[in-house]
Amino acid sequence: MIKNNSIKAFEEAKKFIAGGVNSPVRSFKQVNSNPIFFKKGKGCYLTDVDENIYIDCVSSWGPLLFGHCDENLIKSITDCAKNSTTFGAPTILENQMAKKIIELVPSIDLVRMVNSGTEATMSAIRLARGYTNKNLILKFSGNYHGHGDSFLTKSGSGLMGLNLPNSLGVTKNTAKETLNAEFNNISSVKDLVKKYNNKIAAVIIEPIAGNMGLVKSKINFLKNLRQICDENEILLIFDEVMSGFRVAKGGAQEIYGVTPDLTTLGKIIGGGLPVGAYGGKRKIMEKLAPNGPVYQAGTLSGNPLAMSAGLSILNKLNDNVFSQLEETSSNIQEGIEKIIKKYKTKAIIQRQGSMMTLFFTNLKNIRNYKDAQKCNISNYSKYFNIMLENGVYLPPSQFEAMFISTAIKDNDINKIIHANEIALKKIK
Ligand SMILES: *Cc1c(COP(=O)(O)O)cnc(C)c1O
């Protein structure tokens, strides 16, 4: 596989862009490699600047449910652009988008559009604090909620609840206001709620976590979480930036039947343009400016191009789409699992619908961040690079999920499985 042009492009990028990339995971650092520069996508096929072709199993980290250059989407955005790309004033498209979200996610009475998942989660916790008049946020180790200061914290060693910044530039005082509990461990939540009695504004969770690899919540864990929040007047926020419209039409909350107070959305909602949203119960959302005292705004929020892109995707969601995604993804999973068995690879696959992760681990399952941390990342790195050589583009990190699109057909599934045979044979 020739990478000359990608290597040259990265050398140039490093002269002008901090670290050579506009988001760290793209650097391929986690897989000890040089980033690939892409120039074209069509359906599930990617072409890089050296003319290599790959099957795309990342889908831009989720947004491209129907693959690249979906016809409806291209038509919507080109038609829309002819009438201007932004007014900074209301458009009918925003009404259509809001109605569509509310139809698909019944827990949302009112919604606000923003420009990224990060903005959605930052705004949601501000609203939760404003609504409850409390300061602390409780999140789970290994969940990712974007790069807002409040979320870049980690548990302090051994000292429960005393948290530390996870990035320079995040102040200790900010970190102190975010508590970290263990995913799928309800007693870790109970302990913190007891210790910080009446001070917690919100619990935020990825109900189906995709940012430590794919890790599902246990149903009782989520139900208990809902109950604890109710008993302590804590708002429950589902961060469905990744799982929303991906695991089911109505997201993880539809699958689990657990209703959050607020939901954050992103990725698919923009169909590949920069969009996020948050919404929830009317009485909470009404606290937002201009009607209420919690401020949040955005020059390009709800801009017509992004709304038309997102709507063209959301309007296509139906049960057939999700059953097709399920079939494709389960065929991929079964195919790889056969190879894992054949070569006795120390690996497992965890999957929910079209999101899945192959974990290199001795464990039977990955339940939380601690389990995920025990994975063999050097094996993942080998696996990623062999798969790439064989024409399959996977997430360049063990701690991310694959995202399957409807553009992946039977012959592509066979190619993916064949590449796995080559890769897993070599990894011991
Ligand atoms: C991607 C992601 C975010 C951040 O969204 P950006 O658009 O990258 O800012 C937040 N939460 C979850 C669960 C995500 O997967």
pLDDT digits (tens, 9 = 90+) for 261-310: 999 999 999 999 999 999 999 999 999 999 999 999 999 999 999 999 99
Angle in degrees, 0-180, between the axes of helices 186-195 and 219-231, rounded to the nearest 10: 10
Identify the burial level of 199 via C-beta atoms within 10 angstroms of its C-beta, where 0-12 means exposed, 13-18 middle and 19 or more buried. Answer: middle
Q: Does the Cβ of 145 fall within 6 Å of ligand 1? A: yes
Residue with tokens 């930052």: 122
Say what the pLDDT of residue 159 is. Answer: 47
DSSP state of 288: B
Q: How far is Cα of residue 399 from the mean position of the Cα atoms in its chain?
A: 12
Asked about 144 being catalytic, the answer comes back as yes
* Domains contained in the chain, CATH given: 4-66+318-426 (3.90.1150.10), 71-314 (3.40.640.10)
Active site residue 199: no
Please tell me the predicted confidence (pLDDT) of residue 164. 81
Which residue out of 100, 139, 267, 382 is catalytically annotated?
A: 267
Ligand 1 and 116: CB distance under 6 A: yes
For 361-420, the pLDDT digits (tens) are 999 999 999 999 999 999 999 999 999 999 999 999 999 999 999 999 999 999 999 999
156 C-alpha vs ligand 1 centroid, how far in Å? 24
pTM above 0.85, yes or no: yes
Show the tokens assigned to 170: 């995040």
Given the DSSP bridges, would you call strands 153-155 and 163-165 parallel, antiparallel or unpaired?
A: antiparallel
Helix (H, G, I), strand (E, B), or coil: what is residue 225?
helix
122 ligand 1 Cβ < 6 A: no
Specify whether 239 is catalytic. yes
Atom of ligand 1 nearest to the CA of 121: 10
Determine the atom of ligand 1 nearest the C-alpha atom of 116: 7
CB atoms within 10 A of CB 30: 18
What percentage of residues in the chain have a pLDDT greater than 90?
A: 96
* Å from CA of 249 to ligand 1 middle: 18
- Closest atom, ligand 1, to C-alpha of 206: 13
The reply to whether ligand 1 has any atom less than 6 angstroms from the CB of 251 is no
Alpha-carbon gap, residue 355 to 365, rounded angstroms: 16
CA 146 to centroid of ligand 1, rounded, Å: 5
Alpha carbons 266 and 251: distance in angstroms, whole number = 12
Q: Which residues of the chain have pLDDT under 50?
A: 159
CB-count burial class (<10 Å; 0-12, 13-18, 19+) for 409: exposed
CB 118 less than 6 A from any atom of ligand 1: yes
Any ligand 1 atom below 6 A from CB of 210: yes
Nearest atom in ligand 1 to 209's CA: 13
Cis peptide before 106 (omega within 30 of 0): no
Q: Which of these is catalytic: 45, 54, 131, 144?
A: 144
CA Rg, the chain, in Å? 21
